[in-house]
Amino acid sequence: MGKTSDLTAVQKTIIDTLHKEGKTQKVIAKEAGCSQSSVSKHINRQAKGRKKCGRKKCTSSRDNRTLQRIVTTNPFKNVGEIHKEWTAAGVSASRTTTRRLMKDMGFRCRIPCVKPLLNKKQRKKRLAWAKDKKDWTDAEWSKVMFSDESKFCISFGNQGPRVWRKSGEAQNPRCMRSSVKFPPSVMVWGAMSSAGVGPLCFLRSRVNAAVYQEVLEHFMLPAADQLYGDADFTFQQDLAPAHSAKTTSTWFKDHGIPVLDWPANSPDLNPIENLWGIVKRWMQYARPNNAEELKTTIRATWALITPEQCHRLIESMPRRITAVIEAKGAPTKY
C-alpha cells in the first residue's frame, strides 16, 4: 500500500464519498485498497475550517513594525537595548521573542564594514576624479604602478581560525593561540601593477618625507625596472603628508616620473588594498612568534601572488570608477 501522495484520483474519490456517508476509516481503507493511515491523512488534508495548532502570537503586526523601525533606526544597538526600547513602547514580549522576530525579519548580527569618513568636499572631488577617468582603458590602467603601506600584527584578532578540540583540552598548548597585550607589528610598503608585485620594504621608523624618498629610491625604482623595464609608467600614491610634501614632489620631477592625481580618503579605489587583504587572509593560519618571523611569513606570502591575480585587480578599475559615479562620490563596496 502506497503513501498518501501515491493515491490515485479514483481512490481519492472513493475516500471522499465514503467519508461523507459516515463510514469508518477502516472500512474506507478496505474499499479503496489503501492503508488506513493514507485515508486519515487524506481526510485531514481535505478538512475545511480547521483551526491552526500552536501557541497564539503575543505580538501584533503593528508591534512587529515598531520593532523593525527601532532596529532600522538604531542598527548598532544590542538585543538587550532594542528589547528594552521595544517593551517601553508598550509591547509585552520576552528577549528571546525579540531576537527571534529580528531574525525572522532578516536581521543578522555581523561585524560592520569599515569605510573612510568623507566630507562633502571630498565626495565631490572623488566624483570629479571618477568622471575624468571613466573612459580609461585597461591598457592605460596597466601603465599605473599602485602603492601603499599596510600594518601587519602577529595577532589578527577575531580573523584567526577556530580550533577543533575535545572536552578538557581547552588549556592544551596545541589548542591555544598566543596573545600579548601589545603584539609586535610591522609596517610594510609595497607596489603592484598588472604585471605583478614589486619588492617589499619594511619600515623601521615613522614615515616622513625623507624616509619615504629613501623608500622610493631603493624599492620603488627597482620595482619599476622589474615590472616595466624601459617602458613608461605612472606612479600612484595616496595623499599622506610624506607623499604630498614639496620635497617628495621635487624628487619625482627630478627623476622624470609622473604621479597620478588621487582623491583623498579613497582606499576603495586602490586595488593594492585588496591585495593586502588577500595576503592577510592567507596568513591567518600562520603562527609567527616574533617580528622577524612575521616578516619572513609576509615575504613568503607576498611571493605567492601571481601576475594573473594582479591583472584581475587592475581590470577592476573601470568597475570601481563606475561604482563611485553611481554612489555620487560616497564610499563603495570595494
pLDDT tier for residue 157 given thresholds of 50, 70 and 90: very low
List the single range of 29-38, 206-215, 274-283, 309-318 with lowest mean pLDDT: 29-38
Give whole-number Cα distances, 301 to 264, 276, 288, 293, in Å.
29, 10, 13, 12
Task: Calculate the average pLDDT of the chain.
Answer: 88
Whether the predicted model's global pTM rises above the 0.75 cut: no
Q: What is the pLDDT of residues 249-281, one digit of tens each?
A: 999 999 999 999 999 999 999 999 999 999 999
The pLDDT of 291-296, averaged and rounded, is: 93
In sequence order, the 6+-apart residues with CB closer than 8 A to the CB of 285 are 161
Q: What is the pLDDT of residues 75-84, one digit of tens each?
A: 888 899 999 9
What backbone phi and psi angles, to 5 degrees, belong to 235? Answer: -95, 135
pLDDT of residue 304: 96
pLDDT of residue 158: 45
Which residues is 201 bridged to in the sheet?
189
**Rounded Cα distance, 10 and 14, in Å:** 6
Contact 205, 229 (CB under 8 A): no
Q: What is the pLDDT of residues 14-35, one digit of tens each?
A: 998 998 888 898 999 989 889 8
